[in-house]
Amino acid sequence: MPQSLSKLLVHLVFSTKDRIPCLSSDTRNELYPYLATVFSNLNCHALRIGGVEDHVHALFLLGKTTSVSEVVEKIKVPTSKWLKVHYPQLGVFHWQNGYGAFSVGQTETEKVIAYIDGQSEHHRQVTFQEEYRNFLAKYQLEYDERYVWD
């Protein structure tokens, strides 16, 4: 086959270091468009970005020449620097070391977008830790609790 084609949807979840709730609504309103630009520069189209004070969800199309781990590294580093420059009060800001990346079927796209859009309401009832454990269970990922929460 002479042409390489792919369409891989990824639901990415990552937290602030120690889940510190430091991303205010105003901060997130500026951060998400910047994140979308970073995704775009990596040839990964962000379909939706959202979250709450202590974590981010992103649904994106994985570029055909980039691995998920490369994308995560290449979005965390510049966004961390961007946050520190634009919000001096976040001078010691860091993202958590790890992340969760989950495959999404084409027919589930709208459902995941709605889920991301509903994060504020969702987290009135469920903590980030509960949410993340639910993802790990849903996707049948084995993990060691000692190393999930850095």
Q: pLDDT digit string (tens) for 83-138?
A: 999 999 998 999 999 999 999 999 999 999 999 999 999 999 998 889 989 988 99
What are the residues whose beta carbons fall under 8 Å from the beta carbon of 96, sequence distance 6 or more? 14, 15, 16, 17, 18, 19, 149, 150
What are the residues whose beta carbons fall under 8 Å from the beta carbon of 24, sequence distance 6 or more? 53
- Domain membership flag for residue 70: yes
Q: pLDDT digit string (tens) for 15-60?
A: 999 999 999 999 999 999 999 999 999 999 999 999 999 999 999 9
State the CATH number of the domain containing residue 24.
3.30.70.1290
pLDDT band, very low/low/confident/very high, at 149 (cuts 50, 70, 90): confident
- Domain membership flag for residue 85: yes
Residue 76 has pLDDT above 70, yes or no: yes
- Domain membership flag for residue 1: no
How far apart are alpha carbons 86 and 71 in whole angstroms?
22
Q: Which residues of 14-28 are buried (b: 16+ CB within 10 A; e: fewer)?
A: bbbeebeebbeeebb
- Domain membership flag for residue 3: no
Could you give the number of structural domains in the chain?
A: 1
pLDDT band, very low/low/confident/very high, at 1 (cuts 50, 70, 90): low
Task: Report the predicted TM-score, pTM, of the whole model to 2 decimal places.
Answer: 0.93
The pLDDT, as a whole number, for residue 84 is 95
What number is the average pLDDT over the span 64-69?
Answer: 94
- Domain membership flag for residue 71: yes
- Domain membership flag for residue 2: no
Task: Say if CB 63 and CB 3 are below 8 A apart.
Answer: no
Residue showing tokens 């959202």: 50
Host domain of residue 141: 8-148
- Domain membership flag for residue 42: yes
* The total number of residues written for the chain in this structure: 150
- Domain membership flag for residue 91: yes
How far apart are alpha carbons 105 and 39 in whole angstroms?
20
Sign of the Cα torsion 38, 48, 108, 72 reads positive
